[in-house]
Every structure is written in structure tokens, then in C-alpha cells.
Amino acid sequence: MIDKEVIVIGAGLAGSEAAWQIANAGIAVKLVEMRPLSLTPAHHSGEFGELVCSNSFGALSPDRASGLLQEELRRFNSLIIKTADKFSVPAGGALAVDRSKFSKSLTDVLSSHPLIEIRRLEQLDIPQKEKITIIATGPLTSDALATKIKNFTGIDSCHFFDAASPIIYGDSIDHKIVFKASRYDKGDPAYFNCPMNQNEYVKFRNELIEAQQASLKDFEKESANFFEACLPIEEIARRGLETMRYGPLKSIGLWNPDWGDLFDRENRLKRRPHAIVQLRKEDLEGKLLNMVGFQTNLKWSEQKRIFRMIPGLEKAEFVRFGVMHRNTFLESPKLLLPTLQFLKRDSLLAAGQITGTEGYAAAAAGGLLAGINASLLAMNKSPVTFPMESMLGSLMNFISNKNIIMSIHKKNKFQPMPPSFGLLPELKEKIKDKKIRYKAYQERSLDSLQGFKKLLDSFFEKDQLLVQVN
């Protein structure tokens, strides 16, 4: 055991992952979490790693950007991904989890680790520079701490508005109308599908556009910008008559066998729905269903009225209505090294969505890197960066001062970034076929990590790995 302690502020995905990596390196961790003493506008419990917007970690296949990042994390003993795998629910080609079991397991594992001390309190200040500290408070950082971070960096934080989808009881949907299927029959029939004809779709869209929205505070109205990857459904509807049909209500590739022969062109054209609303399981049993892509800022009474217009949901009972919240993130390219250390203080690190990464796997990735580097600092060793050929390495480079373009901008133009093959260095040979090209990115990434992992393992003694994920 190393005779040093690391402080991790925030027990979301990034903070939980960081604490796990540090403790398993044989270093004591103080994990500070303000919930449930102080709740955020989006959280409902004090469990660690509570998922707010969705239960999906994104595409599972490693030849997809999010899937590649997940696979990289598995190879480095990620607590978050291993727990997600353990409590996964059917979601076609995506990794989705039972939220309740996922968060409870994280809380139990971290609370029982002999080197992790849990402190339930609101962190009001940044610890002194003598303390190795990771800020992993996420996009809903408390006002008090956000002010301290602003004073420390000298730079105003950026923000966008994010929204969460409603959740309904599975036994309240009409199974005579709703059918189970995955798009193009890929994987198990994991989604519940609500078909709409053209008249139903147009009427539904009109109601969405005219519906009453929840009020924003005055200071929020002045800068109400949305993150493009998570737009409220009513905002999507306003962008055009067909916009929803080519987004979350896309019907292509979904067919109910009760409609007859899919390969009969005349029948297919006659029976094919104009649009489809999809529901995804929140739990393995399907007692709770998430409305896919239905992030919203509508008033709750309006959500109940309008979403019950969807065929098959006429009697839907809502467990949770959709909500919108203000997400804060750092202008990281001006503040962070690719090691996730602050330029102004090498003993202070940041991780997760507060750094400007988007998505659950990306949050875990930041926590993993910050946890590894905090451990190395505690051991008086130099921090590391992941190979640029890896999704993790390229993503951390994008949010750091290595992103030269963003780091020199005077105005706040930095926006959150999810995993993307566009971040990776070009292949030596150009490959036109997208599937083959993505496969090549995958193989190169995983190859680059083999040597890196051997080097990293040499920094840590194996007998320090005290706890394994079952």
C-alpha cells in the first residue's frame, strides 16, 4: 500500500472509475459525493454512477466508435464497463443496462473496497495543491464548487442544455398495436415499436410544436443552446415536417410479421408505417420502458397528453417524465494536459463529462485515465497518455491543450465530443469502404494498446490489485 491518499470529488461514472483504478493500485482514496444530501435537477438517488439521460452506452460492436472505446476499457479492467456488461439488457446492437441494478452494484463494490473511504458531503472548495485530487463532478457540478473552479482557472465554464426521456410502465402499453423487433432483425427483438400512419404522425408533430414547455430561469433563457446529439423531441419537430421521421421516429428496417410478407412489394408499400416510436427496456424483465430519442422539456401534463397520442400508448402510465437541465463543462483545451492534469496545477486532474467528453463510455474513459495518472503521481512516477491510435487516446487529446485550434480560440467555441473515428489519425492506406475502414481502425487501436498495457502493468505490482469485478 502506498502511503498517500487521493481525493476524488464526485461518484458518477468518471469518479467511480477513477476511485476503483486508484484503490486497486494499492492507494487510499477518499471518494466525496454530495448526493443524497444535495440532489441535482436530474438525479433521483444517492447511488453511485446513476444514469440520467438514457440507459444506453451506445453501439456495442468494436467496429463502431463507442463500441471500440468500450472494448478498450474492458482491456484495462474498467469497473464501469464490466458492471454494464453484467447488468446489460437487450438493446439490439447497443450496450444498455438495468439502471437500478447497475448503480446499486457500483455503490456496493466501491463502498466495500478496503482502500476507499466514502464521504457524503458537498465539496465547497478545491483541496490544497499538496493533495492529489480528481474533479469528476460532471455537468451538474454544484454552484459553489463551479465558482471555485472558475476562480482557479480564470475562465468561465461553457454550458449546454440536456434533456432526459420519459420512462413508462411496460404493462401499460397496448401489445395489440405495439410489436417487438430490432431494426433489420439484427440481434434479439429488443425494442417495442409503436407504428404511426401519416395522419397520426402529422397530428402528433403539430401537437408537439404547439405544446407548452417547462419554464427556464431568466439567466438560462439568454443562452439556451442545446447539445445537437441530444435534442429535445419538440426541437427536432420544429426543424421540419420530416425531421423526426429521419431521426428517432425512423421506420426503415422495422416490420411486424402480422402485416404479411415483407418481400411482397405491394404489401410492403401498403402496410409500411409512416413513422415508428421505439421503446427500450430499462430492466431485464421489461417492467420499465424508455422512450428512445424522446428527450423533452415539455410540461409534465403536456407530456402525458401528447405522448398518449402515440398508437399503443393511449393508456401509458409514466414512471418518470422527461426533464431538461443545464450542463456545465470546462473549456478543457485551454486548461488540461492530455494526462488530464490541469496546466496550472499538476496535482489536480479532471475527468468525465465536465471535461467536455460526451457519452457514458467516454466518461468512464476519462475516469480510468485520471485514476491511472493519480496513482502514478502518488507513486512519484510520471503520468501517461494513451496511444493516439486508440479511441481513448485520441479523445483525450481532443479535449486537451493538444487540440491546438481550440486552445488558442479567444471565444468559447469548444463543444462536447463523443467517441468518433474522425478523431483518429489517418490510416497509412486510404480505404474507401466505410465498414472495412472502421475495422482497420479497430485492429490498429487494439494492437497499439497491447504494448502500452505491458508498459503500464510494469508500473504497478500485481499483488496490489486487491479486488476483482465478479
Integer CA distances (angstroms), 110 to 30, 74, 195, 338, 464, in order: 11, 18, 43, 27, 16
How many Cα atoms within 13 Å fall on the side-chain side of residue 28? Answer: 8
The reported pLDDT for the residue numbered 224 is 47
The reported pLDDT for the residue numbered 418 is 86
The reported pLDDT for the residue numbered 464 is 46
Which helix (H) or strand (E) covers residue 346, if one does?
strand 345-350
The reported pLDDT for the residue numbered 223 is 44
The reported pLDDT for the residue numbered 42 is 63
The answer to whether residues 2 and 26 touch, using CB atoms and an 8 Å cutoff, is yes
The reported pLDDT for the residue numbered 2 is 58
Model confidence pTM above 0.95: no
> Can you count the helices (H) and strands (E) in the chain?
14, 17
The reported pLDDT for the residue numbered 75 is 95
Residue-wise pLDDT tens digits, 258-287: 999 988 889 988 899 999 999 998 877 788
Backbone φ, ψ for residue 253 (5° rounding): 85, 5
The reported pLDDT for the residue numbered 41 is 65
Q: At which residue does the C-alpha cell 465558482 appear?
A: 147
Backbone φ, ψ for residue 99 (5° rounding): -55, -45
The reported pLDDT for the residue numbered 222 is 41
Q: At which residue does the C-alpha cell 405522448 appear?
A: 307
The answer to whether residues 132 and 303 touch, using CB atoms and an 8 Å cutoff, is no
The answer to whether residues 370 and 363 touch, using CB atoms and an 8 Å cutoff, is no
The reported pLDDT for the residue numbered 190 is 84
With a cut of 50, which residues of the chain have pLDDT below it?
217-224, 463-469
Tell me the domains of the chain and their CATH numbers. 2-157+330-464 (3.50.50.60), 164-324 (2.40.30.260)
The answer to whether residues 15 and 123 touch, using CB atoms and an 8 Å cutoff, is no
Which helix (H) or strand (E) covers residue 11, if one does?
none
Q: At which residue does the C-alpha cell 427496456 appear?
A: 281
Tell me the C-alpha distance between 204 and 211, whole Å. Answer: 10
Backbone φ, ψ for residue 282 (5° rounding): -90, -20
